[in-house]
Amino acid sequence: MENIPLIKKEDDIAQIICERTDILDGDVIVIASTIVGKAEGRTFSLVDIVPGAEAVEFSKHIRFTPEFIQAVLERSRECLISSPVLLVEMKNGHICINAGIDESNVEEEILLELPADSDASAAYIGKGIESYTGTQISVIITDTNGRAFKRGQTGVAVGVYRIHPLKDWKGQKDLFGKELKITEEAVADEVAGAANLLMGEGNGGYPVVIIRGLKLRSKDSASVKEMYRSDEEDLIKKSLKYLRCRV
């Protein structure tokens, strides 16, 4: 979408979108978490943060200040890697670098954090768009994240409204009539990745992308938590915890 202004605290993102474009039934409205965080006033400054002993200890092994590390730890359930990067599990199960705290596309000296509950933010904006337009739509809130095993960041879904993040192919047939047994397609991340390609990471000013024609709207409520593996199931998380006990 063109013409989205710089977003400020308390801006009505649903209204800003609806005033600038036509929305149709079934559209997936993909929104960068950066502007959702700005509208929700989730900016802060490191000046106000007092680091604890753990943050001070971690700062000896990583290029971050104790204040920044403290800000990350306060937003995390668990720290999985503390050097040379800070990889944490957030309270809703989202695992990412630096707890998603971001300094790009915000003013100097100001940091921006993810919405406290991006599913709730997606639902709030989605219901707003539906009531302004009388349509039935889906929303995906995205952030740019790195990936395990590969270089390069992509857009991922951090909050959803009326779109299940996983499409279950189990029970369907392949070209040779064999039944698919495992495949769950991460559709919300796929859509987020495609939208992120249009958003870019810099000064483009494209925080909203509308994807039309996918028929992914769910009848019931949906959550990004459907994607996150439990502690028991997640072998990588288990290995990282095992290693941390030993360093």
Contacting residues toward ligand GDP, per CB under 6 A: 4, 6-7, 32-35, 38, 102, 104-105, 142-144, 199-207
| Minimum distance, C-beta of residue 243 to Mn ion, in the bound complex (Å) | 27
Closest distance between ligand GDP and the C-beta of residue 6, in Å?
4
Residues 6+ apart with CB under 8 A from 156: 142, 143, 144, 145, 189, 192, 193
Which of 10/233 has CB closer to ligand GDP? Answer: 10
CB nearer to Mn ion: pick between 25 and 201 = 201
Distance CA 133, CA 126 (A): 11
For residue 222, which phi and psi values (nearest 5 degrees)? Answer: -135, 160
CB of 96 to ligand GDP, least distance (A): 11
- Footprint of Mn ion on this chain (CB under 5 A)? 102, 104-105, 143-144, 201
Strand partners, 90: 76
The option from ligand GDP, Mn ion, none interacting with 206 (CB < 5 to 8 A, set by class) reads: ligand GDP
Q: Which does 101 bind (CB under 5 to 8 A by kind): ligand GDP, Mn ion, none?
A: none
CB of 14 to ligand GDP, least distance (A): 15
Report the residue closest to Mn ion, judged by CB.
Answer: 144
Residue that is written with structure tokens 């395990």 in the block: 148
Query: HEC states along 153-199?
Result: EEEEEEEEECECCCEECCCCECCCCCECCCCEECHHHHHHHHHHHHH
Cis peptide, bond prior to residue 84, ω within 30 of zero: yes
Which of residues 31 and 55 has its CB atom nearest to ligand GDP in the complex? 31
